[in-house]
Chain A
Amino acid sequence: MRTAEVVASRILFWGGVLSMLVMTVGVARYVQAPTAPVVFTSVAQVVHALARWRMEPLAIVASGIVLLLLTPFVAVMAVFGVFLAAGERRYAVVAGLLLGALLISLTIGRP
């Protein structure tokens, strides 16, 4: 199943590169114009801060972090799709379980 491996590795690599770039841009903007430290606890908060007239530098940093967090999710989703398309139902179920566990992780930490 080299296709699944290639697809997963490309998503992981480019997701990693993109998120690093976004974080670097955010940190550079923060250094130019520091703001009060903020900690984001949900994707909605990050999107809300990004949507403001002048994007908050820390929201840009946080969106890079969210992008990095989501990269493995997307890779597992793609692997799930590849297994499903190849008719490998058993592995599609295993990848589906993995995806479910990842989604649960996003809800557990909520206060």
Chain B
Amino acid sequence: MLSLFATSIMTGALGAILGLGGGTLLVPILTIFFGVKLNVAMGASLISVIATSSGAAASLVWAGLSNIRIGVFLAVPTIVGALVGATLVGVVPPRVLELVFGVAIGCAGLVTLRRPRLASTPTPEADPLAVSFALDGAYYDHALGHEVAYRARAVTSGAGAMFGAGVLSGLLGIGAGAFTVLAMDSFMKLPMKVATATSNFMIGITAAAGAGIFFARGDVHPLIAAPVAVGVIIGAYLGARLLTRLGNTTVRRLFLVVVFYLSLSMILRGMGVHLR
């Protein structure tokens, strides 16, 4: 249990440094290095996602970045997706899940490496749904030195993408934050900081929906989920502090090595080849 706790601290720190969150890294690490069954690793991962999301919620709200209207609105299709995904876990063979996980973590890696959008572009055409549901807001950006106003675009496409992200979250036991941020950034053209903060609020709720199913199915083992959750949250705190001391190139190299090693390992496991 001590090694599990120590590994979770390292995973949480790594997740915070790489911007992927602990969950995405946790599932392959628990299955590859600890021999934990995939569904149990997913259950523990979802619990840790709720923990990290809850821990970060306060600071992001105080910074004025998290938009609860957008979060609540988009959480509905995301949760429906998570329910579908978590239900499929009991049906889809573990090897297929490992394969899908490997591909998804690789995609999440590529998504995270993209250049972030700092501010939303002006929106000449207003989305009727965004107007109707007041999916807009403003925040003061210290880096830009002025207030940034934004309004969501392509709400229907964004909601569709959220459903997909929810399916991945429920199916793979991850927060799928990389995908929800991608949807808010690429489809809805929200500023990256708003997308990240709102996604952080949403993934805790989405993970709770998925974790509820895993718990009722007996896939949340107290002796695995608890040390992992506590370890990841400590690691996330340490990682966030360490991040300020690391150079961008170091982080990028570390990111590429870790993410693509885990991605390849999971794809190979899905194909019946075990590296360990």
**Residues of A participating in the B interface, judged by any CB pair closer than 8 Å:** 1, 4-6, 8-10, 12-13, 15-17, 19-20, 23-24, 26-27, 30-31, 37-42, 58, 61-62, 64-66, 68-69, 71-73, 75-76, 79, 90-91, 94-95, 97-98, 101-102, 104-111
Contact = CB atoms under 8 A, between A and B. Distances in A.
Interface of B: 1, 47, 50-51, 53-55, 57-58, 60-62, 66-69, 72-73, 75-76, 79-80, 82-83, 86-87, 132-133, 201, 204-205, 207-218, 220-223, 225-227, 229-230, 233
A111 B69 CA distance: 35
A11 B142 CA distance: 27
Contacts of A30: 223
Contact of A5 (B68, B133, B214, B221): B68
B219 to A, nearest CB: 8
Nearest to A8: B68
B82 to A, nearest CB: 8
A5 B71 CA distance: 10
A71 B208 CA distance: 9
Given A58-B223, A91-B69, 5 more contacts: A61-B222, A68-B229, A94-B76, A98-B205, A111-B217
Which residue, of A4, A12, A17, has the highest number of chain B Cβ atoms within 10 A? A12
Nearest to A68: B50
A102 B209 contact: yes
Given A9-B57, A20-B233, A68-B229, A91 B72 contact: yes
A105 B60 CA distance: 27
A13 B55 contact: yes
Given A20-B229, A61-B223, A75-B205, A98 B76 contact: yes
29 contacts: A6-B61, A13-B57, A13-B58, A16-B57, A19-B51, A20-B51, A20-B233, A23-B229, A24-B226, A26-B222, A27-B1, A27-B230, A37-B223, A39-B218, A40-B222, A41-B218, A58-B222, A61-B226, A65-B226, A69-B208, A69-B215, A72-B204, A72-B208, A73-B208, A94-B72, A98-B72, A105-B210, A106-B212, A108-B86
Interface of chain A, main secondary structure: helix
A64 B132 CA distance: 40
A96 B133 CA distance: 15
List of 7 A-B pairs having minimum Cβ-Cβ separation, nearest first: A16-B54, A109-B216, A109-B213, A9-B61, A105-B212, A72-B208, A61-B222
Contact of B50 (A69, A104, A107): A69
A12 B208 contact: no
A105 B66 contact: no
A79 B204 CA distance: 15
